[in-house]
Amino acid sequence: MSIIHVNQIRGYLESNYRAFIDLSDVKDKNLQEQEDFFLTRGLAAFSIAHLAGIDAESAAKTITDSYHDNGIDAIFFDRKEYVLHIVQSKFRKDGAKSVDRGDIQKFIQGIRDLLNAKFDRFNDKIRDKKSEIESALMNSRSKLSVTISYTGLQPLGEEPKRDLDDMLSELNDPSEQIKLNILNQRTLHSAIVKGVSCGPINIDVGLLQWGKTDTPYVSYYGQVAASEIANWWKDYYPYIFGPNIRSFLGITEVNNDLIDTLKSEPEHFWYFNNGITVLCNSIKKKLFGGDTRESGYFECSGVSIVNGAQTVGSIASLFSTNPAQLEKARVFVRFIALENCPESFSLSVTRATNTQNKIDKRDFISLDPEQERIKTELLLDEVEYVYKSGERYNSTINGFDLIDATVALACSYEDISLSVQAKREIGKLWDDSNKPPYKLLFNSGLTGEALWGKVMRQRIIDEKITDFVKTADGREKLFGIHGNRFIAHKVFSQLNQTTTTEEIKEVTDNIINIVIKQADTLYPDAYLAHLFKNLTKCKLLNESVNQAIIDEAF
């Protein structure tokens, strides 16, 4: 049956991608070779279209396949989702083989070179995407989606799979920001059958402890098993989030908390989570289950999730590793039927559910009396300090906020771990206002004057780092983007009470050079966006930089 499936995949590529795939660089090849290039490129484009939810013409523009592509056949940065897609494709006409280890190793090295902005190692097609790739590499929110796409039925061999797993293990330390997708013949054929554009999504759902509202519009609500929600993701991502303001943002502070609860307290998840809002064209209750409100089964047509993408994505991230925990967890879900609603109602629901009543950990800091004390002290010196969400200071000349304060205090603290945490996930520094790390930064011994002094020094350092980024290129530029908190920490460690502005700038220039040299020695192939969030590696780098500073002094 594999040849039949391969031919159907081939036919789909021919019908949907032939008009868009550029073959001008291989026009001197014979017809068979040109066809091979088309199939490889068409498969890579389809893989991007399937994973990123874009159309065939746009997907065709992501192709980088050519000589000196370092195993990378397509690249696309999804600016909405902050995902950098990197694809290697192999069209196996016989439908048998998977991907050779040599091709996988070439691809892995290509990924490393790309993440370190070594554009001189790539062809013109990839260099033409330099600004797009740099936009992804310089954004700390960016995630990486690595895809192996092939029309063979066999699974990846043990050795190439191990090579990929080793890469993921290294690059996902300290946090999971890189996802591996294996699209083989079976998954590719299934995606084609569904259609990459995906029609209306219809699901059957079981609701526990369910209820109903009839006026002014019909809706049903109740508890849904987390495992069932994981299947929504598996079957319909990303199309099920079509109208949503935000799709899944990956591993963030809030999503880490969701995942931790699912792992450690799945039975409490329903109590801790705000739930999911689903819009449907229509909802019909099935006879199965009877009239009891204990459980009910419903047919939902034209489904879209408009609030709760982070909940769904967090649940889905545990689908393969912790399925037993998902069986124990329940999620509050409400289904709103749109069939008798005003035309604009769906948009109003989407907007309201994503903007109203949002509370961050930062909001709880406003309960700490030390914050108001510091604010009052600074007002006496005509400096404006705001620490509540939604408040804004009028001028950077004599104003700053809680984030400015936290960054400056963390970077100036003697322990490198706080500056690393500020880079990795600043919200963790506000976890509990009654204990460390918050109390190490904000406490009764901190005066408003001292805080403002640190903030002003931090701004001088940041300004100098920004100047460096403007003139640097490639990997060096990424040091300024991702290593800024580490660099600031090392600069603060070299300052004293009398250090002038010009001296701070000179120290910053010197520290930047030392950090780059020592990091390139210790971690020459490290993905810098992860390196400076890894406490263990930053501690070793810190020791190396300290020794270099001592050696330089002598």
- pLDDT digits over 68-104, tens only? 999 999 999 998 778 999 999 999 998 888 999 999 9
Average pLDDT score over residue span 183-200: 77
Q: What is the pLDDT of residue 254?
A: 55
Q: Of 130-144, 344-358, 464-478, which one has max mean pLDDT? A: 464-478
Average pLDDT score over residue span 276-298: 86
Q: What is the pLDDT of residue 522?
A: 96
Average pLDDT score over residue span 442-468: 97
179-193, 249-263, 265-279, range with the lowest pLDDT: 249-263
Q: How confident is the model at residue 286 (pLDDT cuts 50, 70, 90)?
A: confident
> What contacts 326, CB < 8 A, 6 or more positions away?
225, 226, 227, 230, 262, 266, 315, 318, 319
**Phi/psi class of residue 457: alpha, beta or left (left: φ > 0; alpha: ψ in -120 to 50)?**
alpha
What CA–CA distances, in Å, run from 361 to 155, 257, 364, 425, 427? 44, 11, 6, 12, 7
Q: What are the tokens at 49?
A: 């279209």
For tokens 């526990």, name the residue: 208
Instruction: Report how far residue 413's alpha carbon sits from residue 427's, in angstroms, rounded to the nearest whole number.
Output: 17
Please report, rounded to a whole number, the percentage of residues in the chain having pLDDT higher than 70. Answer: 94
Find the length of the chain: 554
- Inter-helix orientation angle 31-52/2-17, to 10°: 90
Q: Is 3's pLDDT higher than 90?
A: no
Instruction: Report how far residue 255's alpha carbon sits from residue 249's, in angstroms, rounded to the nearest whole number.
Output: 8
Q: What is the pLDDT of residue 430?
A: 92
For tokens 């771990």, name the residue: 417
Domain limits, the chain: 2-194, 203-358, 362-553
H-run or E-run covering 370: helix 369-380
CA-only gyration radius of the chain, Å: 27
The pLDDT tens digits of the residues spanning 126-172 come to: 999 999 999 999 988 888 999 999 999 899 999 999 999 999 888 88
The pLDDT tens digits of the residues spanning 389-415 come to: 778 888 778 999 999 999 999 999 999
Q: What is the pLDDT of residue 525?
A: 86
| C-alpha atoms less than 13 angstroms from C-alpha of 313 in its C-beta half-sphere | 20
Average pLDDT score over residue span 257-271: 86
Contact between residue 18 and residue 38 where contact means Cβ atoms under 8 Å apart: yes
Q: What is the pLDDT of residue 263?
A: 86
**Phi/psi class of residue 53: alpha, beta or left (left: φ > 0; alpha: ψ in -120 to 50)?**
left
Q: What are the tokens at 143?
A: 């995630």
Q: Is 364's pLDDT higher than 90?
A: no
**Between 236 and 70, where is the model more confident?**
70
Q: What are the tokens at 317?
A: 């991230």
Contact between residue 175 and residue 533 where contact means Cβ atoms under 8 Å apart: yes
Q: Which one, of 171, 148, 172, 143, lies nearest residue 80 by Cα?
A: 143
Q: Of 185-194, 258-267, 544-553, which one has max mean pLDDT? A: 544-553
Q: Which one, of 490, 439, 488, 443, lies nearest residue 462 by Cα?
A: 488
